[in-house]
Structure 1
Amino acid sequence: MDYVVEGGVTLRATGGVRFKKFVVSLTNGYEPPSTRTILRRITELYRILEPLLAAFLCSLDVAISLTVDD
């Protein structure tokens, strides 16, 4: 998950046969999780962390302005 989220890699890249062979060869047999598993874990983390982040931001004594640009 860190590779996908922090590395900015698409989920499609992690589901490829060549990527899986690459990981197995580097890690002595570790088989990476499927794309579906990675997506499910990211969704689970979002559901857990989103309310915690909202509560943390609401508890601050300063005003925060957030913008997102594409």
Structure 2
Amino acid sequence: MKMYPSDFEAAAPPVRLTLLAALCQVRQAELIDGLVELLIQLVHKISVRAEKKVEGELNAEFRRV
């Protein structure tokens, strides 16, 4: 059965609370997944920048020698 949050008013209180708890759980999982994905992207971007910087410094050292 598919219900929208606005349809919860028609449900009996125990059913309503159960459905709202399930909805909150799903939303929380979606938020956490999104935040973890952003963190992974940020760490990857920092790693790529660090690699480029180290490679540039090594190339500069080789040119100097």
Q: Bin the TM-score by the shorter chain.
A: 0.3 to 0.5
Higher relative contact order (CA 8 A, sep 6+): 1
Tell me the TM-score normalized by structure 2. 0.40
Tell me the TM-score normalized by structure 1. 0.38
Between Structure 1 and Structure 2, the one with more helix by share is 2
Structure label with greater radius of gyration = 2
